[in-house]
Each structure stands twice: as C-alpha cells, then as structure tokens.
Structure 1
C-alpha cells in the first residue's frame, strides 16, 4: 500500500514535492523506505535541503494545564543543496531508521485510539521552509511486545486507548524525550481492586523494558494508589516467558501487599 503526498512548496509557481513510501508499515528498530520526487515549478530555484522526520503527537504537562503538540523525534537529511531548473524532476531515494523506542500505533490490524504517527517531508528554498503534511505510518509491535499484549488479552484486560507523554520514567534509560502509555480496563477477576492498567514498552536492540502501572481502587478506610512493576528481559527470554502467569502473579502480589483483595 502506497501513501502519497503532493504539496506546493514556496508559493505559486514553486517546486512541488511528492513523497512515496514503499510500505508505510514498520516495527520499532526497523526502517521505512521510499522516494521523494521534487518537480521544478515555473522558474529555477536553489534547493537548500530536503529532509524527512518521524512525528508523533505528544501530551505535555505544564503547571496545572496540559496540551498536545506534534513532536519530531527522528530526522534524516536526505539531500544537501542543489539547483532545480524549471520543470526539472529530481528523484531522491531514502531509507529512514525507526528508533527502537518508537510508540506502537497498530495492533492486530486495528489502529490504537489516541495515536498519531507520520513521516513529514521538509524542503527549504531561499531560506523559506515548507513542512508538509504527515504521511501516515503504522508501527506494529515487536514479537516480544506482542507476546505481552497477547497475555493481557488472555487474562481478560480490554484495551481502551494509548497516548504519548513527554517526560522520563524513573529508573528507566530512555533515548527519546517521551514514552507511550497503553491503557487497559481491568480484567473481571481484578476489577474490584484495579481501576486501570497502563503499559509502557522501552525497547533497545538487546532487551525490552516493560513498565506496568496499576491504578488501584480505594476502600472505605484506604486511599486508591498507584503501584508499579518493571521487567527487563532479553528478546530470547521474552519469547520463552509465560507472560500470562507472570503478569497475573505480579498483579495479585501487588494488590495483596496494599491490603486490597479480589
């Protein structure tokens, strides 16, 4: 499936740009490939550069308020300066790495509610920068991430939404300035003790960090509190782990340690 973008750059008569992705589907740690077609307008121009960047929507907390913003988190310069004659066509192939910590946007053929991800092409002519619209990109989970998500579904958790939050998780090494939270409604067997479960993946080439947060229900004499769990596994171990059993054991232990019961 090919996504195309056609934008008019730098006003009437200027060059136009069409970006074609070979395949908009990818995984963290993978690559996106395609080509950029720059077509000269009515007059010759000097192109300063062409670049592509991965962009996602990020939630930012500022004081007592929150707002969403589009944030570029990976950038690839595709060309330097070159002259473009009137009507000239200039084809530029590219291959863009997808960072390991890139948030997931699609699961089992379904787009995750709350997620925005795309590749943006940027072109500069005469110090005027034109940032085009986003070509949609679908980021699918790594096999190890899929095993964890499968386990939650088998336990009875139901996906509700996902978002990306600016900031860092205490005790977790991150290379990107944000992290994704995938939110689930509790499975029936935990519903009396848990309001919500949030899952975060932080992947590297060697291992996968899995961070869980549960929002606990308060009782008559107790406040509702959050509890955190963190698992750090290499990919071979992740594939051999019985995640349904491990997650169930952690959830039950965490709930009981707080004096809550099923």
Structure 2
C-alpha cells in the first residue's frame, strides 16, 4: 500500500524516456523514435502514451506580451496496458512533422524559435511522468535559398520567433494557429528597411508572406506574397524576390 501511495505522488512510479532516431529534419518529414518505459516499484496501468509536438509562441497582451506553449499536434502511441514493477517496454513510433512546424536552424542574431516533442504517460491516480526532447527543424532547400538571396542583397537576419495567430496571403492561409516570423534588416544612409517573412508549406508548394517597413517613409507598412515550388531554382527565387527587394 505504501509503495502505491508513493507511486501516486510520482515517487517510485514508472519512468518514460523517448529516443529520437532523427532529431534533425525538415518540415513535412517523418519523425521516428522509440518510447522507453520502465516500471516503478509497483504495477501500474498506462492508459495512454501521448506525443505532443510543441513550440513556444509569443502572445500580445494589452500591457506587453507573454510566451505560451502551443501544441501543433498530438499523437497517441498505444492502447492501455499494464507495466509491471521494474518491467521495461519499448514502443516505436513515427509521424509526419506538421507542415507549419517552425524552422529552428536559423543563423539569426536572436533566434527564439524552439520545437520539442513532449512525451507523457497517462496513469490513473498518479502524477503523469513526462519527457521533453528538442528537435532541430531545418529550412527546406528552397527556403534556405530565399534567406540566402535576401542576405546577399544586403540584409542581416536579425530575429526569428513564433507568434500567435493566423496568416492570410493573396491565395493562401495558415491553419495551425501560430506562425513564424523571420526578420531581416538593412541600414541605408538615409533610412533602414525591415522585411518580416513567413513561410507556409502546402504540400509541394511554399507560400511566402512578407511585411516591409521603411523608416522615414510615409507609405506605412507594405505587404506582398508569392509562392514557389519546393524544388524552385535559384533563378526562380530571384525572380520572385525582385519585387520584394525593390519595395
């Protein structure tokens, strides 16, 4: 009885450890791994194992902002089962990384974009054990070429973060409830220019929405959007960026 009481408080309870086979991958790729469970001091029923793909998003408030965890998607790994004392189990899993998963591998001066997988054991009458594993999300080659082209035009990659809300382009919209902003800035002699760029992966197409802000300009913020194929060439990308860079 005493052991069961301790297990309900998380002492001597089952433990979980998720091992990712490919912790560095692109948006839309298949994430693979194994959930390892080790039984505690007593037999326990595992009602479910949940895998949550998470990011941290910025939420604007009246008096500032806060940061909140946002769950992009949740995957259930198993049906209920019993784990005996000191027993060990390993359950494989795989799932497609959400298309709107933020890119984390960015060489920004201030990169606030984070993505992780949170694993939780659902145990009745107990503190649920959990495990957190960070994931490196690489930019698709076409997106990397867009970023490089903007930098080659004299802009510095200043900041990347994830914000709460939805994006609406000319012929596309985001779906998840959060979006990533990648901020570039250059410094001219008389004025500076900022470009805030967001990417939305939609199957074989990458949609791009850009906000342009010029200091000492009376035109206010300007917006433009364009789409490229995932296998877009450098010349295709340069053609699409021409208008953006001249705004």
Q: Could you say which TM-score interval applies, normalised by the shorter chain?
A: 0.7 to 0.9
Partner of 1:185: 185
CA apart distance, 1:184: 1.3
Whether 1:241 and 2:231 are equivalent positions in the alignment is no
SS in 1 for 2:128: strand
Conserved? CA contact 2:199–2:206, under 8 Å: yes
Report the Cα distance in structure 2 between the residues aligned to 1:167 and 1:97, rounded to whole angstroms: 23
Aligned to 1:148, which of 146, 149, 156? 146
Deviation at 1:251, TM superposition (A): 2.7
Distance 1:131 1:181, change over 3 A: farther
CA contact (8 A) 2:12 2:40 kept: yes
**C-alpha distance in 2 between matches for 1:160 and 1:9:** 47
Counterpart in 1 of 2:206?
208
Shift of 1:168: 1.0
Kindly provide the CA deviation profile for residues 63-114 of structure 1, in whole angstroms up to 9, marking residues without a partner as x. Answer: 4432111111111111120011111111101112201111100047x89611
1:4 alignment partner in structure 2: none
SS at match of 2:111: coil
* Deviation at residue 248 of structure 1 after TM alignment: 3.8
Structure 2: runs of 5 or more not aligned:
1-6
- Other structure's SS at 2:196 match: strand
Instruction: Point out which structure has higher relative CO (alpha carbons under 8 A, 6+ apart).
Output: 2
- Alignment gaps of 5+ in structure 1: 1-7, 255-262
The CA distance in 1 between the partners of 2:82 and 2:238, in whole Å, is 58
1:55 paired residue number: 54
SS of residue paired to 1:87:
coil
Identify if the C-alpha distance between structure 1 residues 195 and 240 changes in structure 2 by more than 3 Å, giving closer, same or farther. closer
CA RMSD of aligned residues (A): 2.3
In structure 2, what is the equivalent of residue 72 of structure 1? 71
How is 1:227-238 mapped onto 2 (pairs within 5 angstroms)?
A: 227-236=222-231, 238=232
Q: Distance in 1 between matches of 2:173 and 2:127?
A: 34
Query: Normalising by the residue count of structure 1, what TM-score does the alignment of the two structures yield?
Result: 0.83
